[in-house]
Structure 1
Amino acid sequence: MKRPILPPEAWAIVESRSHDPFGWLGRHYHAESGVVVRAFKPRAEKMWLLVADEKAIAMPRIEGSDIFKLHWKKGDFETDYRFRIENKDGHQWEEEDVYRFAPTLGEMDLHLIGEGNHFEKYNIMGAHVREHEGVRGVAFAVWAPSATRVSVVGNFNHWDGREHQMRMRGSSGVWEVFAPGLCESEVYKFEIRTRDGDILEKTDPYAQQMEVRPNTASVVHNPRKYEWGDQAWVTSLPETQAADKPMNIYEVHLGSWRRAGADYLSYRDLAHQMVEYCQWMGYTHIELMPVTEHPFDGSWGYQTVGYFAPTSRFGSPDDFRYFVDYCHQNDIGVFLDWVPAHFPKDSHGLARFDGTPLYEHEDPRLGEHKDWGTYIFNFGRNEVRNFLIASALFWLDEFHIDGLRVDAVASMLYLDYSREDGEWMPNKYGGRENLEAVEFLKQFNHLVHERFPGTVTMAEESTSWPMVSRPTYLGGLGFTMKWNMGWMNDTLSYFENDPVHRSYHHHALTFSMVYAFTENFILPFSHDEIVHGKGSMPEKMPGDDWQKFANLRLLYAYMYSHPGKKLQFMGLEFGQWPEWNFDSSLSWDQANFMPHRGLQLMQRDMNHIYKDVPAFHEVDFDGGGFEWLDCNDADRSLLSYVRRDKNGGIVVVAMNLTPVPRHDYRVGVPKAGLYKEIMNTDSEIYGGTNIGNAGGVTADNQSWMNQPHSILMTLPPLSCVILQPEAE
């Protein structure tokens, strides 16, 4: 075949390396004929131009090429022309010319993207169903500044990157194209030609839906169809999630909470079953381990590929909207684990997206987590920072999420996190702090709280970084709350000791009050504590089965009476024996039998007491809500303290951390009168010995423990007893 004579811009299109195929294809003015129409159609045998009421006009093929060109000699014509195409099998169809449409992104969009300040990028980047110049189709846009060519490919063009070649918008690095005739549910990817000539097929970073793994393509989603019914909840969020309100969070992995045989439950089935259970149990919020799309089940969602797409494992994005909506309509909040610290190296994802380290640092000392086999985001790059903040705001905006728990914050804050000497680079001042990540977190928190009042942000941060949960205008990172990892580690370490040795570790329980109000803390017993050979919660406890579950009842009552909001991972509430396995359902059958049933009922009652008694939640973040009665009785392993609400209401908490009952234990109290026993973890219905105080005790006038009154009470073995003045 004779090699065609073509200008350089045409060869760039034919060889799929053009930055601007619109500059030559489509409809253009011509010096001699007035108008010329060009089309590059590798699958076409014949082509015709269709203009208004004119008859179909055959478009000659440039010899030796797949380019069809027609000189229109009748003057100008309207832009709404079409093509008729016939392939070599004789099949004909009509379609719009992709290259006759103007850009869908405006100059202001590109300017804000370059600045890193386009916080609704999810409305313009990726794939969006829209009407453009009177035609319905899908607008595609992607950021790939180092690519030499980008195409959108899918079933609609036989996954042929020669068609639907995109144009780069100036120096922005953004490529876009409007594909007329496409609609919702189209499957697509971006085909990228790198500077080295390699061809990559990439998932859309802004895709709002993806195929079910192991397939990795993106899916066009139209988010404007779902009708929300949670307006009352959304409006009241600043009040319902205020610092003085109860918050006991049920952490859930959707794929293993409950299954239908070997199959996953759908988002809609999960909504109904989980809401019913959480209402019965008394949880205020559900926190979902990442539902952002991820290729590997074993990452539990923490190696995210789709930062704008709820996983398709359980249904569509609208199904997930239904899940959140149904929770809200039943007065249960929804938090989401969000992972801006790192992302996986899967070839279809963000890694080396345009053939260069685009979202990550090039230097592995800055850009790679060797422990996790992942890349670290380049927080200093405007577009990357904007990508992540837009992702956070997207979940709050599009899915009405009530808060984000930010994973692995410590790994973001420190340049030497999990690195040996010589494996990390200091900042410009010679320090170990990741200054760019710090500024990113501050901006993230500022924008979330500014744009979505009442939304909660939570940091999983395990170091002593100061002011994590203090406002940015005071120099803090701006999180609403921080996980209290120190409390969790000390508490579990203490309870794992045999009671005969606990007197030597008494400080492990009392030390948390030294720093309890330096941050706004959440007390977490999360999934991380019952995996990788750490043992289930019952397995951690010493003694025989009775002692194990008595310890658990005592542990949970201590957690719920200690200052701070609460988080408990699924299955902990009934103490399932096996470690958590992401690949199977919780052992719900165990919850039907003692001692698991007793633990579940005790946790249920404690949840409702926590919500109903203001002293347990109103003053969590300053010392006015807590007072030690006796924290020094290490010899007998006894603890007692008072919790207070904003109006002076109190509860008295006494704990016996040994299997020996303590009779006639005198506890100082601030008020006279009858104290009712509102919780005794040794109750028979919970599986205990039913030792107690006959429903309550009356305070006498003997001062004790620096209090004007005192009571004599019985403390059952391995128990927590909570008393409340009858008048309150």
Structure 2
Amino acid sequence: MNDTLTENAILAASIPFAEMEAIIAGKHSNVFAVLGLHQTPYGDWVARVFAPNVAQVSLYTLSGEFISRLARVHDAGFFVAAIPVAHHQPLIIEATTWGNVYRWRYVDPYSFGPILGPVDDCLAAAGEHLALYNKLGAHPQMHSGVSGVHFSVWAPNAMRVSVVGDFNEWDGRRHVMRRRSNGVWETFIPDLPVGSVYKYELLDAAGLPLPLKADPYGQAAQMRPDNASIVTNTTQFVWHDADYLEQREQGDNRTKPMSIYEVHLGSWQRGENNRFLTYDELAERLIPYVKDLGFTHIEVLPITEHPLDASWGYQPTGLFAPTARFGDPDGFARFVDSAHLAGIGVILDWVPAHFPTDAHGLSYFDGTALYEHEDKRKGFHPDWNTAIFNFGRTEVNAYLVNNALFWMERYHLDGLRVDAVASMLYLDYSRKAGEWIPNENGGRENLEAISFLQKVNSKVYERHAGVMTIAEESTSFPGVSHPVHSGGLGFGFKWNMGFMHDTLDYFKQEPIYRQYHHNDLTFGLMYAFSENFVLPLSHDEVVHGKGTLLMKMSGDDWQKFANLRAYYAFMWAYPGKKLLFMGQEFAQRAEWNENIGLDWHLTDYDSHAGVQSLVRDLNRAYADLPSLHEKDCDATGFEWLIVDDATQSVFAWLRRGQDNAAPVAMIANLTPVTRLHYRVPLPHAGRWREVINTDAAIYGGTGVGNLGEVVAMDDGHGCAYVDLTLPPLSTLYLLFEV
């Protein structure tokens, strides 16, 4: 047959020839109005099938009853037939190649109605659909009695959107999606199995093809360098952490001990031939290690799917997909479940500030600046060469809010550490004059981002009791961890970047010069309770030529270890929750390298093992002694004992807990001089037990101390004092007993 239709064929098709040609060319924007079952203007029912490279097509009911053989009305593979109205239901297509070489059956995807409904449309339009991750993306389900996968994606400016994959030879003409009024496209592909690889093929408004796109809501993805999405079902995992979740809801995180072990899963340890460990192997090795050292939480650097290992996950292209580097989504769920069974919380490093411009990602998703701002002054990040989300757009705002809720709901995560918050808050962040656009009030604050952060925090805390959000915010923006109803951003905690910078600046000084830097350690206590702080010694401090924490310390090797031990104990007694990057707990010498595992052989050496033992004991003291954690965010839990001894570089303070918790005194001698009979004021006369001495021999110190306890004497004025031996470069904890 020629490509030119006969007059009878045109009548049989009941559509204009141009529409048929558009479908064959892949240029038709409303294929569901043509293919499948339709009523003609004359009242008859007609079935239309586009099946390229097929000689013959027949129709059957789902029960296998023959209905009709279709007429081939176009050489490109367009078939039509009149159908009795009684068969207006999902149909089975039997396709046969020339010479009957191949014959197969499949359920016609165009004989199904939509799955999304008006309630979904209404909630999405208002930005209040808080379970969009159950609607958009790829979801295995039953529809009209047939199993398959429902796909939906937001692309309002596309002329045509299709699902493509191996199942249709990556032919965008085969599974064209139905466009809804709100710019969402959807389709149901029957009999498609879990594990199918797919992308979206889009034509822009002018009908020009765009790069194939991964699913913005895709919940699994291929291992890089491949980057397609994978059909998965993340709803069927059987969890065993109900008791943990119930306990998590009790109390206030501000009064609980929180010591966070920050981990890059790809380089904590490696397997044979330097391969990545799987989620299950990490559960078997990492979780018991963290439990043994007494950390309460694991914070994982971003495990959302990303194409470039060197980005450490901070340039994600799959915000809903755990990276395939370590296994499948169920593997990550098993990791979290195992952590919870061990009493360990899991915090995800979350990146809503920006996204990379990889062709398969969100960048110009439908041919327009859909997720990002069109204007580069608001939509492009100069530091990282990435795109910035358009926080003021309802659909983008909802996408990110849904993503935050998804990780809490689907993977039971205990918190989100939100990356690069400062870059979101300020329109002029890393920009020169003329490179940014003031807000409507003429200011530099990004009002849309502020509103977004307030919303995501409100929704997270409203829907998931006991979880937390933590802001990595490096400026003095007011109220980061204050409630939204009082004008704050609503985060549970904020990283105390000032503490990190000031204390590291101090400890890098040679002890003889520390008297001139005394305020580096005292200044932070002036604002220590202005926010709910986490004290971070993070991965950012041990890369890019900065050296490890050990190598930042001043002095020879002995002094470096003594300084580091004293620093850790100083920090663990300082008000605020704790965070330590992996490897620093045993004083890693080499700078962090994401391409290899940590230098675990160092723990065979006494000096390194001693630091590791100290961190274990600090975590246990911090958790066991209420005065060290209950008032981390309350000024009534802190009292200076010695604040002004700059000459001898001695610091002392008291930590108090709630009710009748025994107070703990911290005394730090930050010079390499042993100080005998050093008088320290204390609030109570009686026995004070030395629960931590960083100079103890078991930690690699000299063994100088106070024989395990001291007795404070009444000074006759309602207070007490004790004459201590202060070991060199050391920190002591004294616990009041009687």
User: Same fold by TM (over 0.5)?
Assistant: yes
Distance in 2, matches of 1:248 and 1:55, equals 67
Q: Deviation of residue 239 (structure 1)?
A: 2.1
Q: Which amino acid aligns with 2:30?
A: D
Mapped partners of 1:389, 1:224: distance in 2: 19
Flag the 1:347–1:241 CA change in 2: closer, same or farther, 3 A: farther
Match of 1:284 in 2: 296
Shift of 1:15: 2.4
What residue in structure 2 maps to residue 507 of structure 1?
Answer: 519
Match of 2:102 in 1: 91
1:628 to 615, 640, 643: 640
2-side partners of 1:598 and 1:240: how far apart? 34
Aligned mates of 2:480, 2:47 — CA distance in 1: 60
Cα distance change, pair 547–88 in 1 and its aligned pair in 2 (3 A): farther
Deviation at 1:421, TM superposition (A): 0.8
Corresponding residue number in structure 1 for 2:23: 13
Aligned residue number for residue 465 of structure 1: 477
How far did residue 43 of structure 1 move?
Answer: 2.9
What residue in structure 2 maps to residue 714 of structure 1? 725
1:44 aligns with 54
1:578 aligns with 2:579: no
1:127 aligns with 2:138: yes
1:664 aligned counterpart, secondary structure: strand
CA deviation profile, 1:274-301 (whole Å, cap 9, x unmatched): 1111111000100011011101000000
For residues 153 and 356 of structure 1, what CA distance do their matches in structure 2 show?
Answer: 21
Distance in 2 (alpha carbons) for counterparts of 1:200 and 1:279: 46
Paired residue for 1:687? 700
Q: Give the partner amino acid of 1:616.
A: L
Structure-2 change in CA distance of 1:612 and 1:53 (3 Å): closer
Alignment of 1:347-496 (within 5 A): 347-496=359-508
Partner of 1:184: 194
SS of residue paired to 1:578: coil
Q: Which residue of 1 aligns with 2:147?
A: 136
TM-score w.r.t. length of structure 1: 0.98
**Alpha-carbon shift at residue 697 of structure 1 (Å):** 1.1
* Counterparts of 1:422 and 1:53, CA distance in 2: 69
Query: Which residue pairs with 1:2 in the alignment?
Result: 3
- Residues 88 and 532 from structure 1, CA distance in 2 versus in 1: closer, same or farther, beyond 3 angstroms? farther
Which residue of 314, 325, 329 corresponds with 1:302? 314
Q: Distance in 2 between matches of 1:493 and 1:707?
A: 38
Query: Of the candidates 213, 220, 227, which is equivalent to residue 224 of structure 2?
Result: 213
Partner secondary structure for residue 427 of structure 1: coil
- Distance in 1 of aligned mates of 2:708 and 2:528: 32
Question: Which residue of 2 is the match for residue 26 of structure 1?
Answer: 36
For 1:108-127, list aligned pairs within 5 A. Answer: 108-127=119-138
Greater shift in the superposed pair: 642-651 or 172-181: 642-651
Q: Structure 1, residues 660-710: CA drift from partner, whole Å, max 9, x if none?
A: 11110000011111111101000011111100001111111226xx97100
Cα deviation per residue 1:291-324 (whole Å; 9 max; x = unaligned)? 1110100000010111110001111111100000
CA distance in 2, matches of 1:679, 1:228: 39
Partners of 1:203 and 1:299 in 2: CA distance: 19
1:724 matches 2:725: no
Matches within 5 A, 1:531-550: 531-550=543-562
- Secondary structure in structure 2 of the residue aligned to 1:259: coil
Per mean C-alpha deviation after superposition, the further-off stretch among 231-240 and 1-10 is 1-10
The residue identity in structure 2 corresponding to 1:482 is K
Between 79-88 and 198-207, the greater mean CA deviation after superposition: 79-88
1:662 aligns with 2:662: no
Question: How far is the alpha carbon of 1:272 from its aligned partner?
Answer: 1.8
Q: Which amino acid aligns with 2:3?
A: K
Displacement of 1:30 after TM fit?
Answer: 2.4
AA partner of residue 325 (structure 1): D
Conserved 8 A contact 2:53-2:76: no
Deviation at 1:8, TM superposition (A): 4.0
Aligned match of 1:677: 690
Q: Does 1:270 align with 2:271?
A: no
Percent of residue pairs identical: 50
The answer to whether the Cα contact below 8 Å between 1:290 and 1:300 also exists between their aligned partners in 2 is yes
Which digits, 9 at most, give the CA deviation of each residue in 1:405-454, with x for residues without a partner?
00000000000000111111110111000000000000000000000011
Distance across 2 between alignment mates of 1:322 and 1:64: 52
1:647 aligns with 2:659: yes
Coordinate RMSD, CA, aligned = 1.4
Q: Kindly indicate whether the alpha-carbon contact (under 8 Å) linking 2:684 and 2:714 is maintained by their aligned counterparts in 1.
A: no
Distance in 2 between the 1:542 and 1:634 partners? 18
Task: Report the CA distance between 1:65 and its aligned residue.
Answer: 3.5
- Could you tell me which runs of 5 or more consecutive residues in structure 2 were left unpaired when the two chains were aligned: 11-15
Which whole-Å CA distance do the structure 2 matches of 1:290 and 1:469 have between them?
22
Shift of 1:478: 0.3
**1:362 positional shift:** 0.3
User: CA separation in 1, counterparts of 2:137 and 2:498?
Assistant: 41
Superposition deviation, residue 252 in structure 1: 0.4
- Alpha-carbon displacement from aligned partner over 1:192-219 (angstroms, at most 9, x marks no partner): 1112413320000000000111110100
3-state SS of 1:463 partner:
coil
> Which residue matches 2:541?
529
Alpha-carbon separation, structure 1, partners of 2:31 and 2:25: 11
1:80: Cα distance to partner? 3.5
Give the CA deviation at 1:53: 6.3
Calculate the TM-score normalised by the size of structure 2: 0.96
Q: Which amino acid counterpart does residue 10 of structure 1 have in structure 2?
A: M
Counterpart AA for 1:441: L
Q: Tell which deviates more after alignment, 25-34 or 570-579.
A: 25-34
Alpha-carbon offset, residue 624 of structure 1: 0.7
The one-letter code of the counterpart of 2:220 is Q
Query: Are 1:320 and 2:332 matched, yes or no?
Result: yes
CA distance in 2, matches of 1:194, 1:427: 31
Can you list the C-alpha shifts for 1:543-589, whole angstroms capped at 9, x where unaligned? Answer: 11000000000000011000000000000101110000111100011
User: Aligned equivalents of 1:298 and 1:526: distance in 2?
Assistant: 17
* Letter of the structure 1 residue corresponding to residue 405 of structure 2: L
Give the superposition deviation at 1:221.
0.5
Conserved? CA contact 1:149–1:194, under 8 Å: yes
Task: Report the AA paired with residue 21 of structure 2.
Answer: W
Name 1:587's counterpart in structure 2. Answer: 599
Cα displacement (A) at 1:78: 4.0
Secondary structure, counterpart of 2:337 in structure 1: helix
Which piece of structure 1 moves more, 237-246 or 632-641? 237-246
Partner of 1:193 in structure 2? 203
Specify the SS of the correspondent of 1:440: helix
Unaligned ranges ≥5, structure 1 = none
- TM-superposed CA distance for 1:81, in Å, is 2.3
* Greater CA drift, 107-116 or 491-500: 107-116
Q: Tell me, what secondary structure is at the counterpart of 1:631?
A: strand
Number of residues of Structure 1 aligned to a counterpart in Structure 2: 723
Name the aligned partner's letter for residue 708 of structure 1.
C
Q: 2:13 maps to what in 1? A: none
Alpha-carbon distance in structure 1 between the residues aligned to 2:486 and 2:31: 51
C-alpha change, 1:199 and 1:3, in structure 2 (3 Å) is farther
**Deviation for aligned residue 1:57:** 2.9
C-alpha contact 2:641 2:654 (8 A) present in aligned 1: yes
Q: What amino acid maps onto 2:303 in structure 1?
A: V
Over 3 Å counting, the alpha-carbon distance change for 1:75 and 1:161 in structure 2 is closer
Which stretch of structure 1 is more off in the superposition, 46-55 or 579-588? 46-55
- Which residue of the other structure, out of 78, 81, 90, is the alignment partner of 1:80? 90
Counterparts in 2 of 1:221 and 1:63: CA distance versus 1, 3 Å? closer
Q: Which amino acid aligns with 2:289?
A: Y
Give the one of 710, 730, 737 matched to 1:697: 710
CA distance in 2, matches of 1:701, 1:2: 107
For the structure 1 residues 75 and 260, does the alpha-carbon distance in structure 2 shift closer, same or farther, using more than 3 Å as the test?
A: closer
User: 8 Å contact 2:235–2:410 — kept in the other structure?
Assistant: no
Instruction: Map 1:146-165 onto structure 2 (within 5 A).
Output: 146-165=157-176
